[in-house]
């Protein structure tokens, strides 16, 4: 069975700055593009502490998932790129708080730098129809 590829967009997350969609869906699968800690209004957050950047980035991912008809319980896989392996424990604590009982597959990739001096970027794959109440 063929499914059309659907672009997902929401004003609750930043508008893409390049040639990509916030997310795309194919059938019940949702693929969220890498999100940076930019507020929905376009305000940049590279000057914020790492913990604030994590919270904003996760908020962007969750807003896009909600627009796609999913939520934390529908997340299948997360990849997080973090600057500085020393930030891993702080990331893990905030991630666990935000995802709660949901435990998707995950990779955390320490990197030397990210675009515009950000400290974190997160992408996710999810399934529609799963929302945390």
Tell me the C-alpha distance between 128 and 133, whole Å.
14
Does position 71 have pLDDT exceeding 80, yes or no?
yes
At the topology level of CATH, where does 5-127 sit? 60s Ribosomal Protein L30; Chain: A; (3.30.1330)
**Contact by Cβ (8 Å): 83, 112:** yes
Does position 133 have pLDDT exceeding 80, yes or no?
no
Q: What percent of the chain has pLDDT over 90?
A: 92
In sequence order, what are the residues at sequence separation of 6 or more whose Cβ sits closer than 8 angstroms to the Cβ of residue 85? 110
Does position 130 have pLDDT exceeding 70, yes or no?
no
Q: What is the mean predicted confidence (pLDDT) over 15-42?
A: 96
């Amino acid at each position: 069975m063929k499914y059309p590829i659907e672009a997902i967009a929401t004003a609750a997350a930043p508008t893409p700055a390049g040639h990509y969609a916030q997310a795309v869906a194919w059938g019940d699968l949702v693929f969220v593009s890498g999100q940076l800690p930019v507020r929905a209004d376009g305000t940049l957050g590279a000057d914020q502490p790492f913990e604030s950047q994590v919270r904003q980035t996760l908020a962007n991912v969750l807003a896009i998932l909600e627009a796609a008809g999913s939520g934390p319980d529908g997340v299948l896989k997360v990849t997080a790129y973090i600057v500085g392996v020393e930030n891993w424990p702080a990331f893990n604590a905030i991630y666990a708080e935000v995802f709660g009982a949901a435990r998707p597959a995950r990779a955390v990739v320490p990197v030397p730098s990210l675009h515009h001096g950000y400290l974190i970027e997160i992408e996710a794959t999810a399934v529609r129809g799963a929302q945390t109440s």
